[in-house]
């Protein structure tokens, strides 16, 4: 077991904190961990028939546009805690879709080698279309439906590289074998 000896915050902004922890391992040796603390977020897999709904946007840290499932966390200052409420809000904001049925598929760790952040995954079905309510940072977002063949091609071609999207799709296939 690893025990935290000392912890100090080394960076903070409205979306995350970075801390540096001095730890002691079971054998008595010491080490250092840098940990990024971010709030959990929700990811939604909108599904209709055998198709899934994706969004594409520019992701600044990797300087590129990629397809992914709708996802996000509460904005700064919001005090919501229910992942289902967050999932419904993200679905509506990014796609305009509303779901009559939401099924919880599980929680993923995003990058547990250096971050505490988790991702709650939901399947959205029985969908009704509406207008997206995107935030300013999502103004360039586009969306599309993908059938199983198109999904595989987007993954193979490197157009879907988001690990949470890929892991969420794996949860979908466990929930519904043969799913898109």
In this predicted structure, what is the pLDDT of residue 75? 76
In this predicted structure, what is the pLDDT of residue 136? 86
> CA-to-CA distance for 84 and 64, rounded, in angstroms?
29
> CA-to-CA distance for 151 and 112, rounded, in angstroms?
27
Residues 6+ apart with CB under 8 A from 154: 54, 67, 146, 160
> CA-to-CA distance for 119 and 146, rounded, in angstroms?
22
Q: pTM score, two decimals?
A: 0.92
In this predicted structure, what is the pLDDT of residue 179? 59
Please report, in tens digits, the pLDDT of each residue of the chain (180 residues total). Answer: 999 999 999 999 999 999 999 999 999 999 999 999 999 999 999 999 999 999 999 999 999 999 999 999 987 767 767 999 999 999 999 999 999 999 999 999 999 999 999 999 999 999 999 999 998 888 899 999 999 999 999 999 999 999 999 999 999 999 986 655
In this predicted structure, what is the pLDDT of residue 135? 86
- Burial string for 92-103 (b: 16+ CB within 10 Å, else e) reads bbbbbbebeebe
Place of tokens 């709904």: 53
């Amino acid at each position: 077991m690893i025990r935290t000896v000392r912890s100090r915050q080394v960076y903070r902004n409205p979306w995350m904190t970075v801390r540096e922890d001095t730890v002691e391992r079971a054998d008595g040796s010491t080490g250092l961990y840098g940990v990024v603390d971010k709030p959990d977020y929700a990811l939604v897999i909108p599904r209709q028939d055998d198709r899934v709904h994706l969004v594409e946007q520019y992701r600044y840290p990797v300087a590129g546009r990629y397809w992914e499932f709708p996802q996000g966390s509460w904005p700064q200052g919001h005090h919501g805690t229910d992942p289902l409420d967050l999932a419904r809000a993200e679905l509506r904001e990014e796609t305009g879709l509303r779901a009559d049925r939401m099924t919880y598929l599980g929680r993923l760790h995003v990058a547990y080698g250096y971050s505490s952040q988790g991702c709650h995954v939901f399947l959205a079905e029985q969908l009704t279309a509406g207008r997206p309510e995107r935030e300013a940072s999502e103004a360039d977002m586009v969306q599309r439906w993908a059938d199983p063949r198109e999904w595989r091609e987007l993954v193979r071609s490197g157009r879907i590289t988001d690990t949470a999207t890929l892991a969420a799709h794996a949860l979908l296939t466990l929930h519904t074998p043969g799913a898109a």
